[in-house]
Structures are given as C-alpha cells and as structure tokens.
Amino acid sequence: MTDHWHAPLRHIRGAELTGDTRQTSGMSRLEAISGRTVGSEKLWMGRTHVAPATNSGDHHHGEAETAIYVVSGHPVFVFAEGAEEIRLETEPGDYVFVPPFVPHREENPGDEEAVVVIARSTQDGIVVNLPSLWG
C-alpha cells in the first residue's frame, strides 16, 4: 500500500490530454490533471483552445476557483459588473483569476488561436453553461 510520503508522481504528456470533459461552445477543453486522470482530490488542470474570431458561451465553474494562464493569442475575458459588461484584454504571460460561481465568457477576437492553461480548485472540470452573463 502506498502512503502519502511514497505516492508516485504522475507525468501527463501534452499528447495524452483528453477532450472527455465538460465543454462550452466555441472552445475546446483538454483535461490533464483531474480525479479521473490521476486521482487528484482538490485540483483540476487542463488546456483550452479558442479558435480565431470565436466566443465561448456564457458559463461558470460552480464552487471552483479558477486560475488562467495565457500561453498564446490575445483572449478577452468578459464578465458582468452590475448591468455593465467588463472586458479583460489579455496577452501571453498574463494571468486571470475567476472566483467561484462568476458567470463569464472567453472571446478570441484575433486571427490566431488563443491557448490558455487552466487550474481549478476542484478535481472535476465543472462547467455550467448559461443563457447570459446575468444567468
């Protein structure tokens, strides 16, 4: 039996990521680290691709805190503050934090694919698709 001091490290190659996770229109999520792939209990991590001139649907990630690192492209993260839409324009090297239950969407207004790495504080890739940013 493996104890916590002797549990094996897990190596997931980029080519081994699976698309067998919750999806939102306009983007492709690939799962790397999760309860299903490595047995994690408190973490989900993966990569998302957003095609050029594409918007995701509005959604939130339930109870999960979400951290995003922009690898390439210039994705825009949109959320509501009162009646106003707020747009966070990003570039490679930027980070974005999404609190639990906050409706948002990703947009890629550029002519190149946007790629981001996502980490969430739950081991499931929670995605709740919504009709709008206001629910």
Which of these CATH numbers, 2.40.30.10, 3.40.50.10540, 1.20.1250.20, 2.60.120.10, describes 29-129?
2.60.120.10
- Of residues 110, 65, 118, the one with CA closest to residue 91: 110
Where do the domains of the chain lie? 29-129
Contact 134, 105 (CB under 8 A): no
- Of residues 43, 34, 98, 46, the one with CA closest to residue 71: 46
pLDDT band at 135 (very low <50, low <70, confident <90, very high): confident
- Of residues 115, 132, 125, 108, the one with CA closest to residue 23: 125
Average pLDDT, the chain: 91
Is residue 20 scored above 80 in pLDDT?
A: no
Can you give the pLDDT at residue 1? Answer: 52
Can you give the pLDDT at residue 77? Answer: 97
Mean predicted confidence (pLDDT) in 109-115: 95
86: helix, strand or coil: strand
| 102 burial via Cβ count (<10 Å: 0-12, 13-18, 19+) | middle
What's the DSSP call for residue 46? E
When comparing pLDDT for 8 and 95, which is higher?
95
Mean predicted confidence (pLDDT) in 13-22: 82
Instruction: List pLDDT tens digits, range 31-83.
Output: 999 888 999 989 999 999 999 999 988 999 999 999 999 999 999 999 999 99
What's the pTM value of the predicted model, to 2 decimals? 0.87
Is residue 85 scored above 80 in pLDDT?
A: yes
Collect all residues with Cβ–Cβ distance below 8 Å to 18 and sequence separation of at least 6. Answer: 30, 31, 37
Instruction: List pLDDT tens digits, range 57-67.
Output: 899 999 999 99
Can you give the pLDDT at residue 2? Answer: 61
